[in-house]
């Protein structure tokens, strides 16, 4: 069975506060032998379509969606979630209606103002991100891992890369897949391996500068 390296949580310039282009993302992924990228720009699916259509790397079309309570990632999407900010449960339903998978990212990162921290919503999502490279405090990732263990939730990890230097910080070695169902089977498999590295505080400083430069966040909750 073919095994691949997957990072399901990556951003590009389409997020508005990232410097990564699809071309540079492909080159960086090749350097770390990452075979598949889940491209999850903030409230945009444009970059994911571009990366997929370039055809150089396996792509999960995704979006990190602003909700009234935080952020939810949709994977294997066919179109953007147009209504935003959207209520969390409506968001889960909209993702499901497309045949996609929902993932709650960085659920307990107390340094993120828009971090989703609603246990009832987490339990309704398909996947819980139990390690996020941009989560600075180890205990916040550990809390997500403990919740997944307690409730038998499907687990994933992601780099949450906004800068090129972050590609390769987190990825999963798992069985290759054709679609959402195979992907979920791979996440549930005992053979999956998680590779984790914390990004550190510097990347947050750079991102903060980029946000101010591009006016990102104005009018957002």
Q: Are 153 and 147 in contact (CB under 8 A)?
A: yes
Task: Express each pLDDT in 190-214 by its tens digit.
Answer: 999 999 999 877 766 666 665 666 5
Q: Is the pLDDT of residue 76 over 80?
A: yes
Task: Tell me which CATH code domain 3-214 carries.
Answer: 3.20.20.140
Q: How far apart are CA 190 and CA 193, in angstroms?
A: 8
- Considering only CA atoms, which of 9, 4, 43 is closest in space to residue 132? 9
Using one digit for the tens of pLDDT, what is the confidence trace for 183-195? 999 999 999 999 9
For 15-28, write each residue's pLDDT tens digit. Answer: 888 889 999 999 99
DSSP 147-158: HHHHHT--EEEE
CA Rg, the chain, in Å?
16
pLDDT tier for residue 219 given thresholds of 50, 70 and 90: very low
Residue 117 has pLDDT above 70, yes or no: no
Residues whose CB falls within 8 Å of the CB of residue 193, separated by 6 or more in sequence, listed in order: 172, 173, 174
- Mean pLDDT for the chain? 90
Q: pLDDT, tens digit, for every residue of 82-107?
A: 877 899 999 999 999 999 999 999 99
DSSP state of 70: S
d(CA 139, CA 131): 10
For residue 209 the two structure tokens come to: 């500068």
What is the model's pLDDT at position 218?
Answer: 42
pTM higher than the cut 0.85:
yes
């Amino acid at each position: 069975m073919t095994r691949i390296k997957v990072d399901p949580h990556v951003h590009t310039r389409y997020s508005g506060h990232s410097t990564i282009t699809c071309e540079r993302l492909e080159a960086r992924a090749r350097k770390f032998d990452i075979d598949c990228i889940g491209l999850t720009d903030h409230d945009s699916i444009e970059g994911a379509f571009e990366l997929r259509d370039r055809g150089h790397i396996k792509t999960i079309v995704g979006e990190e969606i602003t909700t009234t309570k935080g952020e939810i990632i949709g994977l294997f999407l066919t179109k953007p979630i147009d209504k935003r900010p959207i209520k969390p449960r409506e968001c889960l339903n909209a993702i499901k209606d497309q045949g996609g998978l929902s993932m709650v990212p960085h659920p307990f990162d107390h340094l993120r103002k828009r971090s989703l921290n609603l246990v009832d919503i987490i339990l309704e999502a398909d996947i819980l991100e139990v390690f996020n490279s941009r989560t600075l405090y180890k205990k916040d990732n550990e809390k997500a891992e403990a919740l997944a263990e307690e409730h038998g939730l499907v687990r994933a990890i992601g780099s949450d890369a906004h800068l090129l230097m972050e590609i390769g910080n987190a990825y999963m070695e798992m069985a290759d897949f054709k679609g959402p169902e195979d992907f979920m089977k791979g996440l549930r498999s005992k053979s999956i391996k998680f590779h984790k590295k914390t990004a550190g505080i510097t990347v947050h400083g750079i991102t903060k500068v980029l946000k101010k430069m591009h006016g990102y966040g104005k009018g957002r909750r």
